[in-house]
Structure formats: C-alpha cells, structure tokens
Chains A and B, each alone.
Chain A
Amino acid sequence: MSKLPLRKILGGTAATAMVFSLAACSSEDSGGNDLITYEIDCTQFEEFGDLSGTTVTVYSSIASESEAQPHVDSFAPFEECTGVDVEWEGNRDFEAQMPIRAAAGNAPDIAYFPQPGLMGSIVRDYNDQVVPVGPTAEANIDQYYSEAFKAYGTVDGTLYGVPVGANVKSFVWYSPSMFAEAGYEIPTTWDELMTITEDIAANAEGVEKPWCAGIESGGATGWPATDWVEDMMLRTATPEQYDQWVTNELAFNDPVVIEAIDKAGSILKNPDYVNGGLGNVATIATAPFTDAGLPILDGQCWMHRQASFYQANWGEGVTVAEDGDVWAFYLPADSVDEHPVLGAGEFATAFRDAPEVHAFQAYLTSPDWSNIKGQTTPNGGWLSANTELDPANLTKPIDQLSYEILADPATVFRFDGSDLMPSAVGAGTFWTEMTSWIANDKSTQDVADAIQDSWPSE
C-alpha cells in the first residue's frame, strides 16, 4: 500500500508506532498513498515523544472530496511515522462556523484559515484558546519560508499560523489558439494589454467581449472584485502604500485608492469590454465566479482575470497548458521592469497545546509535507511557498508557473488585502460595496467613502 522505504521508517524509534499505524491506516485512505514517491525521514518526530494513539482534528473550509482528499492523503506519511490519527473536517461555511465554534469553546485542534485577517481576529478575541506555533515549526518557517509569509502568520508579534498553501492571483486566463489565430502576442505591459482589449472590442460580434468576469460567490459575493482592486493597487501605488492601505493608515477613500478602483473600472465597468458571453456590466455581479471564465471555451470571451486555482474550474477534457485549450499570462504592470504579484494562502493555527499538535504543525512546515502534498494533488490547484518545494512534484503546469513566479527574486509579493483587513471590512463592506459598484453602478467615491466609514474603530 505504501511506497515508503521501510528501511527509513524502521531506522528510528518510531518502529513501534509503525505497527499501530499500519494496521490503522490499512482500512482507510490508502487510495492516495500510491501517488507518494517522496521519501520522508521519520526520526524528525522523535523529539515529540511517543504519539501513537493520539488524534489531531483539522477544521477547514475545504469540503468537496476532490479538494479535501489530497490533504487527507498528504497526512498519511505523518500518520505512519507517528501513529497520530489526523481527522479532517471540511465545512464550506467555515468563515461563519469557525467564530461560532471558537465562541462556544469548541475549537478544533487545528484550523485552516483562508484569511489571516480572520485568524487575527480569532486570535485576539479568543486568546486563551489559541496556541502559538512551537519551536520546531517556527524554526522550519524561518528556514523554508520568506519573512513575508512568516509575517502573515504573526499576530501582535507572536507566530500563530503556519502557511499551508499559497496561490498566485495576478493571472489572466486566455485561449492560446484564439490569441494565435488573431495574431496577438502575450502583453507584457498594461498599455499592450489595453491595446489588445480595444482591438478585440472593435472586432467583437454579438455577445463576444474582450473580458469576462463574475463575482457571485454566495455569502462571499464580491471577493473577486476586491482582487481586481488589489491587483490595481499594486500597479498604481507603491508596495508601501499598499501595506498602509491594508492597515488603514492610508484611508480607503484616499485618491491613491480611488485611482486603483477606477483603473479596475476601466475594464470592469466599460460596457464595450465586458461581459463576454454573459451580458452587460451588471451581469458580473450575478455570474458565479466558478463559471465566469467558461465563455472563453465558447470563443465569446478572450480574457478572464482569476487566480491560479481557477484551473480546477475549466472542467473535464479541457487542457490547461501553454499549448493547451486555456492558459494564463501574468497580469502586466505599467512597465516590464515592475513585477508586483498578488497572492494569498491558508494558515494553520493550533487550539490545543499537545505534542501531537506541535508535531503536526512541524510536519506541515517541513519541505516533506509540501512535496508530498504536491504529489497527492493529481489535479493540481495547490502549491506552497516553501522554498524547498521541488516544482517537479507539482502535477500541473500552472502550479509550476505560479511557484516560479513566487520564487522569482524580481517578484514583489503582496498578500490579498481583503484577507488581511478586519472582517467587518475584508469579509464585509469591501465585498458588498464592490458588488454595489458593479451591480448598481455606485460611484467609486461613494464606495470608497462607505468602506472607510465602516472601518472598525478598535
């Protein structure tokens, strides 16, 4: 069932634990284990003592089987080494349920936060429940992650979250064959992008438009529009201004921010440019983000700005590759020398102070886990910012490209701003006001003023 080299496993004192765990895991989740060819050294967990028979519960927003199973599979080597049973619980309603569980004192051992902002507010509000990251895991982060990623997991000077995934958002999806037939080159500056856009718009017929977008996402409707604004902030303002904007040192209705929103509007609110295959500008508000890029496949839309994880949405039989049916290019900045990149990621925070929980966090921060997780994710859509991750272990080209961009020294990386802002804004008015901006043609100034007004005073 497992391709773990027995020599390595039996080499350590974990041998006794092995007897337990082999029996335990033969009944379940053996399916994904044949994907793992990566070798892991079990001795790294010796310092945590004998953990066999213990359980670590993980709570996450990742609920669908296709996305959750790769995570579950990636824990198998850890479970085999230590005898710890890792229980995965996914709930699509995580953002609402996690605060309820924390308030009720019912937190899981580990929670995967998709937004550092939510993690921060939970850490501050329920400080007696959260457990800082242990020394081994912290040492791993210092060694294998950039300082930026460590900073995103830190709340008020203490490290609480370990990164468990990353994505790159500054992508524009397109059809390579459509571009080739029309003779378009991949744009490398904003001006080139707009030239192509105008050209497509001039030649478009019927429901065809250069861009398509969709921001409907149930209770989180609006977030794709906030990504647009953040990407524009990185292109119109300095990285420092971006950081100030996220903490509200730079007011939301500052002219700098207005300029960024208007730049997003130059595409999203231009009826000649959107919404390919879907209708007029307002349809952006009701189009589910999961489907909004699909008109590209019908030739009704040319470009769709969405993160690397969108590759999972293209459907069966669609090849996502540079020479395939769809591919993505980097959303260019004003000049080829600038390389701002918007991204995001998940952070795992502990709520129980126990050796098995610390051991699990240590595993998650190790290069081992990142490489194994790459292998257990056959359909792609996942990567980590771990510097020791071998891109060859990522199964999909778009994930490899994303990793290259993250690892590129020229890249100026910034985390998704709405994920960092307080929930009242980042999971609240920023979403809803951007939705009104599109759906009801609310003016940029009114939108920015309303968001600024809603910024919590505490």
Chain B
Amino acid sequence: MSATAPAMPRKLTRKEQRAVDNKTKLTSPTASVIAIIIAIVWTTPTAGLLITSFRPASEIRTTGWWTVFSNPDFTTENYSDALGTSGLGQSFINSIVITIPAVIIPILLALLAAYAFAWIPFKGRDILFTAVFALQVVPIQVTLIPLLTQYVNVGLDGTLWVLWLSHSMFALPLAIFLLHNFMKEIPASLIEAARVDGAGHVRIFFTVLLPLLVPAIASFGIFQFLWVWNDLLVAMVFASNDYAPVTRKIAEMVGSFGSAWHLLAAGAFISMLVPVIVFLALQRYFVRGMLAGGVKG
C-alpha cells in the first residue's frame, strides 16, 4: 500500500530532500514526546478492549487487562458467545444490503445536482446552493416522525427502500457540497474547450469531469459508508426487525447485558471489523478526496 501512496511532486533528490526535512521538521525532543503521548492515548483504550475481548469473563470482572502481560490467559469463547447471539449473521448481511445502495444512490443524485450547481448558471443558483448547504444542520432526530408518517401513508414502512431513501436524503447536502467544490476546481478552460468542440452536458460530464472526480467520489463514498454502517438511529426507527443491522444487535446486547464486558468487548470488535478493513484499504482515496474537495472549498 505504501508504494502507491500519493506521490508528492519531488524536485529534489532523496538525499537533498532529507536535508530539507531535517530543517522543516519539528525535531525538538518535546515535540517527539508530545507525538508519542498522543499516539499512546489514542490507541491504548482500543488495545485494552481488544485484549479484554480475548480474556475469560471471570478474569475480566476481577483484574485489569494489563495483568495479561504477567499472567496470560486467553480464550475465544467471548466471540463464540457473542456470535451465538441470535441473528448476528443475518444482521451482517442486512448491514451490507443497507449500506451499499445507501452509498451509491446519493452519489448518483449528488453528481447530477453538483454539476448543475457548478457549471450551469441560472437565476437563484447561489441561494438554492446555500440552502442545500445550510440544511446540513437539521438533526436527523427531528425528521423521524414526519418521515415515518409519510412512509406509512405510502405503505413502504419497514422496508429496505425507506432505509436507502432516508440515508440518501440525509447524505445529499454534504455530497452535493463536496462534489460541487471539487467540480469548481476543474479549470473552466477545459469545459469551454469541450463546449467549443460541440459537446453537450452529457459528454462534458462523462469525458471531462468524471475521470477527475474519482477521488472526490471515493472520499465521499468512504465517509458515507462509515456513517451508514455505524448508524444506529435510522436503523432503530426505520428498520423492521428482519432488516436490523449489526449496530442495532450490538446496542441490544449493551442493553441486555449491562456490564457484561466480555460480550460487549467481543461484540464491539465484531461490529468494527468491516468498517476498519474498508477504511484501511481505501484511506488514501479518502485523503486525496478530502484534500481536493474539502480543503479548498
């Protein structure tokens, strides 16, 4: 993965670069200590729970996880217990089925809208765009009852469709905002040249814009994937039991077992597995997209 890391423009040779680095870097010992402290504080809690998830239940209740270093005693029983909780396998499938369209649909719709906002001038465009941006502030909680009422009226309540629709609605303002900023970055001369060649919106969109948009799409896609996969609120209200995702099952475990740390720890890591893998695999896209789309907005 490191081989394909975003290549920065390099005018200097490696040796020269290192010489420059040594001057630009904050190399004071204090700085290193701060960095190491942050890194430790940020990772230890997760590591502690990870170790805990492999310890026998009776040990977890009585001794700290750090005692494993002097007194190792590991088991995978917590994971088999957590997985034995009914329906966790099905909820995994549900999470996948809910998440994939909830990522793709808003991207499709936002691409169209962002294109119009970026490259088709019309009266009231700025106001409409500002309104779309501002609607990011609406907390999802306030939408629950009005939306559910409408879903019930059209007989779609409890289906996967309303989950996809709801996640798409909530995602659209950010998606449009990011993709718009990104499209604006593309030099107008490129678009103009295409227009002069007689290209319509569709050709401009597919041949000029889309290839340049891939990092932005990927970066929003990862954001949205994490958001939908980790969502609890929408799943609680809109999903019927048959389509309950992993987060809801884990939340139910938290409620049922109080401070049964062995189950909670294992359950938490089971729920984290997929997003962490996806995230690690795709993080370079995330960085690139955020850089281009968000930073210069």
Contact = CB atoms under 8 A, between A and B. Distances in A.
Contact of A92 (B152, B255, B258, B259): B255
Interface stretch (B13-21, B42-50, B233-241, B267-275): B233-241
Interface in B144-186: 144-145, 148-149, 151-153, 157-158
Interface in B8-39: none
A97 B259 contact: no
B86 interface: yes
A97 B236 contact: yes
Contact of B256 (A92, A93, A216): A92
Nearest to B257: A290
Interface centre among A65, A104, A288 (most CB of B within 10 A): A104
A103 B258 CA distance: 30
Contacts of A409: none
Given A63-B252, A291-B259, A89 B241 contact: yes
Interface string B240-259: 11000000000110111111
Contacts of A65: 85-86
Nearest to B251: A92
Nearest to B86: A65
Given A105-B152, A106-B157, A100 B258 contact: no
A103 B237 CA distance: 12
Interface string A103-145: 1111000000000000000000000000000000000000000
Given A89-B240, A89-B241, A290-B257, A64 B149 contact: no
A121 to B, nearest CB: 16
B154 to A, nearest CB: 11
B149 A103 contact: yes
Contacts of B157: 104, 106
B258 A291 contact: yes
Contacts of A216: 258
A93 B236 contact: yes
Nearest to A68: B86
B259 A104 contact: no
Interface string A274-293: 00000000000000111100
Contacts of B241: 89-91
**Which one of B152, B236, B255 has the greatest number of beta carbons of chain A within 10 Å?**
B255
Nearest to A102: B145
A103 B148 CA distance: 9
Nearest to B85: A65
B151 A218 contact: no
A104 B155 CA distance: 12
B153 A288 contact: no
A91 B255 CA distance: 11
A97 B237 contact: yes
Contacts, number: 53
B237 A106 contact: no
A92 B152 CA distance: 22
Contacts of A89: 240-241
A101 interface: yes
A191 to B, nearest CB: 34
B237 A100 contact: yes
A288 B61 CA distance: 14
B148 A104 contact: yes
A288 B148 contact: no
Given A89-B241, A106-B152, A64 B252 contact: yes
A8 B269 CA distance: 52
Nearest to A88: B241
Given A100-B144, A101-B148, A104-B148, A64 B258 contact: no
Interface in A282-339: 288-291
Interface string A47-65: 0000000000000000111
Contacts of B254: 218
Contact of B149 (A93, A105, A218, A290): A105
Contacts of B149: 103-106
A170 B197 CA distance: 86
A63 B252 CA distance: 8
Given A92-B255, A288-B258, A291-B258, A104 B151 contact: yes
A290 B237 CA distance: 26
Given A89-B241, A290-B258, A105 B145 contact: no
A65 B249 CA distance: 12
Nearest to A289: B258
B94 to A, nearest CB: 15
A103 B144 CA distance: 10
Contacts of B158: 106
Contacts of B145: 100, 103-104
B153 A105 contact: yes
A103 B153 CA distance: 12
A106 B238 CA distance: 11
Contacts of A104: 145, 148-149, 151-152, 157
A93 B248 CA distance: 10
9 contacts: A65-B86, A90-B241, A91-B236, A100-B145, A104-B157, A105-B153, A288-B259, A289-B258, A290-B258
Interface of B: 85-86, 144-145, 148-149, 151-153, 157-158, 236-237, 240-241, 251-252, 254-259
**Those 10 A-B pairs whose CB atoms lie nearest each other, nearest first:** A288-B258, A104-B148, A290-B258, A104-B149, A92-B255, A106-B152, A64-B256, A65-B86, A105-B152, A103-B145
